[in-house]
Amino acid sequence: MNEYVQTLIGILLAAILSENFILVKFYGICPFMGVSKKIDTALGMGMAVTFVMGIASAATWAIYRLLVLLHLEFMQTVAFILVIASIVQVVEMFLKKAVSALYKALGIFLPLITTNCAVLGVALLNVQKGYDFLLSVVNGVCGGLGFTVAIVLFASLRERVEKSDCPECFKGMPITLVAAGLLALAFMGFSGLKLF
């Protein structure tokens, strides 16, 4: 049991810091670049992704067991993407009815999450590493938290980068990518981080 807790904490640290989903593993670069212009929208996106990643990890774990039972493991990519798309749809409808304030805040970002590689990526990674149910969900939620940390940090950086005076050809995306590179350099400091 003790060893299990250690693995759990290891996954937690890795997903948030040392193997950050955006800055180390490069999952979900599109929303990272697309919705990081303001801190509050970035935070909203991060929370929505965390939520969906948690649920998707749980659901895809169950789906994968079913696929194994039917000897259809090769269908995992197709099955996972369908499950994720349906989850996003259900979450969207549920939030619209039940928590309309949150729905309004997340609004446009929700449908975008389907094509966020972080969600499909975490589902595939859980299978690849053979995590059980709890570890999968922890990996999903913490991966989402890592995503949130990175996107919020980057949004606050970017507000300053946008106003900076840089060479003409670096305006827009290039200087943003260079700034992201420097943030990734900072996160490299966490590599090799281990508690036990």
Partner 1 sequence: MNFKKQFSEGLLSKNPVLVQLLGLCSVLAITTSLFNGIGMGLSVTVILICSNVLISALRKVIPSQIRIAAYIVIIASFVTIVDLVLQAFIPDLSESLGVFIPLIVVNCIVLGRAEAFASKNGVLASAVDGLCQGIGYTVALVIMCVIRELLGSGTFGGGILNNGEGIRIIPEGYPAMQMVMPVGGFLTLGFVIAGFQWYTRHSRNKKQKEAAK
- Binding residues for partner 1, rule: CB under 8 A, are 23-30, 33, 74-78, 81-82, 85, 114-117, 120-121, 124-125, 128, 167-178, 180-182, 184-185, 187-188
User: Least Å distance between CB 49 and partner 1?
Assistant: 13
Residue with smaller CB distance to partner 1, 21 or 51: 21
Q: How many other β-carbons are positioned within 10 Å of the β-carbon of residue 100?
A: 10
Amino acid letter, residue 118? A
Residue with smaller CB distance to partner 1, 6 or 37: 37
- Tell me how many helices (H) and strands (E) the chain has: 9, 0
Residue with smaller CB distance to partner 1, 20 or 50: 20
User: Least Å distance between CB 93 and partner 1?
Assistant: 15
SS3 196: coil
Assess contact for 15 and 121: CB atoms under 8 A.
no
What Å distances lie between residue 18 and 12, 146, 187, 193, CA to CA?
Answer: 10, 10, 7, 6
Residue with smaller CB distance to partner 1, 62 or 174: 174
User: Least Å distance between CB 21 and partner 1?
Assistant: 10
Amino acid letter, residue 76? Q
